[in-house]
A and B are shown apart, each in its own frame.
Chain A
Amino acid sequence: MNYVENILSHASGRKSVSAGEYIEARCDTVLMNDVTGPLAVKEFLKRGKKIKNPGSVVIVCDHFTPNKDIKSAENVKFLRDFARKQKIRFFEIGNGGVEHVILPEKGIVKPGDVVIGADSHTCTYGALGAFSTGVGSTDVAFAMLMGKIWFMVPEVMEFVYSGKKGKFITGKDLILLTIGKIGVNGANYKAMKFAGTVISALSMDERFTMCNMAIEAGGKAGFVVPDKKTADYVKGRPGRKARNFADGPSAQTFKMDISAVKPLVASPHLPDKVGPAARLNKVKIDQAVIGSCTNGRISDFAQAAKIMKGRKISAGLRCIILPGSQEVYAEAMKKGYIETFLKAGCVIAPPTCGPCLGGHMGILAGGETAISTTNRNFVGRMGAVSSRVYLASPYTAAASAVRGRIISPEQL
């Protein structure tokens, strides 16, 4: 059995499972947010009173917070009351941040865990070696009632990266490269395993970025088999111990030498429309967004700050910085990144999903163009139907913000 099959056989209490089988598995963590939570809780309350395993359930209010309007405030209040009654963990402004940034930080997810979340980017935690996947609100209601969930055991599609990473090449460029190669449904129903010498050398933050965007290729999960870097990340954080599982062969393997890869950008309106940033120099941008569950961690801001240090963003352009959590925000202050961004002319937003999904704090007007370190560039994703979003790494987004047009950081 491979790594995913080993986790799922353990979680389903079976001796063995194999790809294609339908199973019911225990969930270590069941996550919901302020968009998907109200529906899940209402469905749960129609059929149950007490959560089967309250210790597993986590609510993070991050999408429309600090609440953008009365309706979103009512939704968060509803969830806050529910969490208090059920004695489950609840994070909102002041103690939280973007769900997929804070769960690993707070030690809630550990290697070998099974995690479901009513948020498609729940696949992020595969970077820790968890089997972690996005589901709907009804699935979360079911898991609250039953303490488990149904899955089809996915096939593993392995991506092996070798070669020497060029200057300014990040986990974001590698995942964009991969999505560009296999397409937006190239990994539909499959678990994407990221491996090879390049991944071994990659920071945890960049592994989170890669696993986060597995869904953008249709993946059920993305994962990296835990290694020393994973162990170092987990060490010293609260919560239960990691579970170790063996790995085995994958159904498919793709090998990529990434030595020649240059900074990449996904053009509107799909994440697989990937090409070199340097070929998009004619694209003028109105707004840059740096943050999100994809690129809202400390090394992401280190990269952006490295570009912006001593520079100013282009006149007339707006640049919005969204630290992914309180912890990331504090660290960015301590390291001087926040000061760099302020001096460059950026605005610092609170930790929230904000503009990524067109929620608030940076919505685009008709015809406007943004470069963003987020994960989706669908029609109308960040605002008006006629607005356009280009996806890139923090280096590329910051360099483009300085120039006012899309450029590769090498061109600055």
Chain B
Amino acid sequence: MKNIIRGNAYVVGDSVDTDVIIPARFLTSDNADELAAHCMEDLDKDFSKKVKKGDIIVAGDNFGCGSSREHAPIAIKASGISAVIAKSFARIFLRNCINIGLMVFVCDMKKDARAGDEITIDMRKGEIINARAKKIYKVKPVPEFIKKIVSFGGLLNYAVQRGR
């Protein structure tokens, strides 16, 4: 696993729900690219055009609240986002990210962040750096059990490799 993730910030507010991440009218498909084409469109209709590969979502509280649809983290991941940093995550969304291997970090850094800021996540040090804002933040440590799932490359690989 890479120890450094670097990308430009796409900043959103509090309680970004899974209905705006991927509206129900697109849920008849579970194709990642089709979902990515409509990701966040009810919040920002140009999201899929604006986002560049490797960009990082920087959010406030309660990111991913609402519906359990795994289509939401799938859409985010397939649109090229490399990681989501939020002050807090809704629990089903967080679970889904861990299970499908979308990198998520709990860190309160949204208040200083502006669109396009270069964000560096140093996983070994447990730090996130916003160079423009001249700020270094500590990431909330990941529980050992979750690290194990992530190290296997997601929940189902963990299940298979552990043996049924």
Q: Which A residues are closer than 8 A to B by beta carbons?
A: 22, 35-36, 38-39, 42-43, 46-48, 52, 63-64, 69, 71-72, 75, 117-120, 122, 134-139, 141-142, 145-146, 150, 152, 184-185, 188-189, 215, 218, 220, 270, 357-359, 376, 378-381, 385
Q: Which residues of A contact B24 (CB under 8 A)?
A: 35, 63, 357-359
Complex Cα distance, B159 from A46, in Å, reads 12
A153 CB to closest chain B CB (Å) equals: 12
Asked whether B20 lies within 8 Å of A134 as measured between CB atoms, the reply is no
A257 CB to closest chain B CB (Å) equals: 28
Asked whether A39 lies within 8 Å of B71 as measured between CB atoms, the reply is yes
User: Whose C-beta in chain B lies nearest to the C-beta of A35?
Assistant: B27
Within 8 Å of chain A (Cβ to Cβ): is B154? yes
Complex Cα distance, B27 from A64, in Å, reads 10
Excluding A35-B27, A139-B99, 12 further A-B contacts by CB distance (< 8 Å) are: A36-B70, A47-B159, A120-B68, A138-B99, A139-B95, A146-B164, A152-B143, A218-B65, A357-B67, A358-B24, A379-B19, A385-B42
Q: Which of B20, B30, B145, B149 has the most CB of A within 10 A?
A: B30
Asked whether A185 lies within 8 Å of B61 as measured between CB atoms, the reply is yes
Query: Could you say which of B62, B95, B143, B145 contacts A136, with CB atoms under 8 Å apart?
Result: B95
Mark out the residues of chain B between 66 and 96 whose CB falls within 8 Å of any chain A CB in the assembled complex. 66-71, 88, 90-92, 95-96
B86 CB to closest chain A CB (Å) equals: 11
Within 8 Å of chain A (Cβ to Cβ): is B160? yes
User: Whose C-beta in chain A lies nearest to the C-beta of B25?
Assistant: A358
Known: A22-B143, A38-B30. A379 touches B69 (CB 8 A): no
Query: Could you say which of A43, A150, A379 contacts B156, with CB atoms under 8 Å apart?
Result: A43
Q: Which B residues are closer than 8 A to A by beta carbons?
A: 15, 17, 19-20, 23-25, 27-30, 42-43, 61-62, 65-71, 88, 90-92, 95-96, 99-100, 143, 145-146, 149, 154-156, 159-160, 164
Complex Cα distance, B90 from A43, in Å, reads 23
User: Whose C-beta in chain A lies nearest to the C-beta of B65?
Assistant: A184
Asked whether A270 lies within 8 Å of B90 as measured between CB atoms, the reply is no
Asked whether A136 lies within 8 Å of B96 as measured between CB atoms, the reply is yes
Complex Cα distance, B25 from A376, in Å, reads 16
B156 CB to closest chain A CB (Å) equals: 6
12 residue pairs of the A-B complex, CB under 8 angstroms, read A38-B30, A47-B156, A120-B67, A134-B68, A135-B92, A136-B96, A138-B100, A139-B155, A146-B159, A188-B88, A376-B19, A379-B20
Query: Could you say which of A72, A119, A138 contacts B155, with CB atoms under 8 Å apart?
Result: A138
User: Whose C-beta in chain A lies nearest to the C-beta of B96?
Assistant: A136
Complex Cα distance, B30 from A137, in Å, reads 11
Enumerate the 5 nearest inter-chain pairs by beta-carbon distance, A residue then B residue, closest first. Answer: A71-B28, A136-B96, A22-B145, A138-B99, A185-B62
Q: Which residues of A contact B43 (CB under 8 A)?
A: 379
User: Whose C-beta in chain A lies nearest to the C-beta of B97?
Assistant: A136
Q: Which residues of B contact A47 (CB under 8 A)?
A: 156, 159-160
Complex Cα distance, B96 from A64, in Å, reads 22
Q: Which residues of B contact A270 (CB under 8 A)?
A: 15
Complex Cα distance, B30 from A359, in Å, reads 16
Complex Cα distance, B70 from A48, in Å, reads 20
Asked whether A141 lies within 8 Å of B145 as measured between CB atoms, the reply is no
Q: Which residues of B contact A184 (CB under 8 A)?
A: 15, 62, 65
Q: Which residues of A contact B156 (CB under 8 A)?
A: 43, 46-47, 138, 141-142, 145
User: Whose C-beta in chain B lies nearest to the C-beta of A138?
Assistant: B99
Complex Cα distance, B160 from A135, in Å, reads 20
Asked whether A380 lies within 8 Å of B19 as measured between CB atoms, the reply is yes
Asked whether B20 lies within 8 Å of A378 as measured between CB atoms, the reply is yes
Complex Cα distance, B24 from A185, in Å, reads 22
Asked whether A142 lies within 8 Å of B96 as measured between CB atoms, the reply is no
Q: Which residues of A contact B70 (CB under 8 A)?
A: 36, 39, 118, 136-138
